[in-house]
Amino acid sequence: MAKVMIVDDHPIARMAIQFLVEKEGHSVVAESGDGAEALSLIDEHHPDILVIDIDIATLDGIEVVRTLRANSYPGIIIVISGKNPEFYSPRSALSGADGFISKKNNLPEIITAIRAAQNGYGYFPLKRFESPQSQQAIDDRERLGMLSPQEFQVFQHIIKGLENMKIAAKMKISNKTVSTYKSRLMDKLGCKTQLDIFEFARRNNLE
């Protein structure tokens, strides 16, 4: 039996995940809907398995995973998200997660991902659309892959509606640095205005 921590800002999602992992024989030792709080709770409870959503308050899930791995967290990390897996599954893998599960009707796969990680395997399935992807979708994915971790983090804050000053405070960097990252990401994504950034996010289900 493993100790599990669940981080998701939707109580119903946390309940569903708790049901799945407890049915498997594991115990849930802590829950949160906030990234900064999650880091504190992990230090307190030392869970063997962390199931974490990307879109959470304070620190997003990718940043939490990156922070944990930078501090040598040894546990299994499964990232979940309702956002486009074509973009977020690779980002999760690069941040140090052991698996990625889409929240769109695939939550039971969390158990499959945990089992795979326990046996030393990563679990990052990508379910392709039945219709061929448009060239624009392929180009957009390649463009997004060009962003550095910091540029991607600024991108995520922008599409949440945060202004430069708030982004700077969250990332603990200067306004000038935020502006630099913003300029770079706009060039890489082919966006001339902030409205273009929102359109990029909308058409790729990244909002």
The pLDDT tens digits of the residues spanning 152-186 come to 889 989 998 899 999 999 889 999 999 999 999 99
Contact yes or no for 98/80 (Cβ under 8 A) = no
Write down the domain spans for the chain.
3-119, 132-204
CATH architecture for residues 3-119: 3-Layer(aba) Sandwich (3.40)
Average pLDDT over residues 121-138: 68
SS3 102: strand
pLDDT tens for each residue of 71-112: 999 999 999 998 888 888 888 998 999 999 998 878 899 999
Give the span between the Cα atoms of 44 and 64, in whole angstroms. Answer: 16
SS3 25: coil
Measured at the CA of 206, the angle between CA 123 and CA 47, to 5 degrees, comes to 40
Q: What is the CATH number of domain 132-204?
A: 1.10.10.10
